[in-house]
Amino acid sequence: MSIVDHPAKAIYLANRHPRLSRGEFRERWLQHSRVGESMAGGPQPIAGLRYCLTVDPAGVLPGASNEHDGVGLLALRSVVSIPSMHTVLTRNDIALADELRTFERAVEDVTVYAASELVLDGPETEVVVFSYARRRETVDPVEHLRALERHPDDDALLAAGLRRWVRNVAVGAAPRGFGYDAVTELWFDSLDQVADAAPAIGAFLERRGSHTERRASFMLVTTVIHGLGRTRP
C-alpha cells in the first residue's frame, strides 16, 4: 500500500468541561459535532468522525476506567493528511472557542495521530472498547508494536463476539502526558457481549503485559453516539 493511501486517524480523549455533567456533556458534544462536520468533505483532511461516549464499566469490564468521558475518532484521508489536520486543529479559532465550552482542554492538547490497521474486518457496531497502551521504557517501540499484533490465542475474542478490531499506531510527537504508543479499537454488538467477553479481553491484555506499562495504560467502554462519513479502516 502506498503511503498516500494508508489510513490514518486523529484520536482525541474527550473530558467534559467542569461545569457539565456527563449527561449535559453528551448533548454539548453533539452540538459541537457541527464544527467537526464543517471540516469534513471536499479538500478537508477529515473523511469521517465517530463520537464514543464512555459508560460506567462496573459490571461490564472489570479494570476498565471511568475517568474519561469519551473518545473522538477522526478518520483522515491518509497518513499524509496528518500535517493538514494538525493545522486545522491549531489554527481554527472558531473551533477552539467551541472546544473550550465543551471540553476540559483544547482538542489539540489531547490528540494522538496514528496510522490505522484493520486487524479484523467487520461492521462498525454500537459499542467500542478502547485500549490506550503505553510501552515500558525498557521495551523497543518496534518490539512493543509486534507484541500488539494478532496472536492465535486472540481468536478467543472472536468466539466471545468481537466484530471488528482496529490497531492505531501513534506516529509523530504527541502532546505531553498523552504519549500513547497505540490505541486499539475492539467493536462489539452490545454491552452484554463486552461483559461476556471480559475474560477474553483480560487475557488479551495479559499476553501483552510484559511489553506494556499497565499503570500508564487504560481501557474505556464506550457507545457510539454520533457518526459521519467513513472511519477508514
Structural domain contains residue 85: yes
Structural domain contains residue 19: yes
* Among the listed residues 53, 71, 187, the one whose alpha carbon sits nearest the alpha carbon of residue 118: 187
Structural domain contains residue 233: no
Other Cβ atoms less than 10 A from the Cβ of 21: the count is 10
Question: What is the rounded CA–CA span in Å between residue 49 and residue 10?
Answer: 10
Range of the domain at 224: 3-228
Structural domain contains residue 80: yes
Torsion of CA 17, 46, 52, 113, to 10 degrees: -80
Domain CATH for 91:
3.30.70.100
* Among the listed residues 40, 37, 232, 52, the one whose alpha carbon sits nearest the alpha carbon of residue 125: 52
pTM of the model: 0.93
Domain count, the chain: 1
What's the pLDDT tens digit per position in 124-164? 999 999 999 999 989 998 888 888 888 899 999 999 999 99
Rg, Å, the chain Cα set:
17
What's the pLDDT tens digit per position in 159-182? 999 999 999 999 988 888 888 999
Structural domain contains residue 31: yes
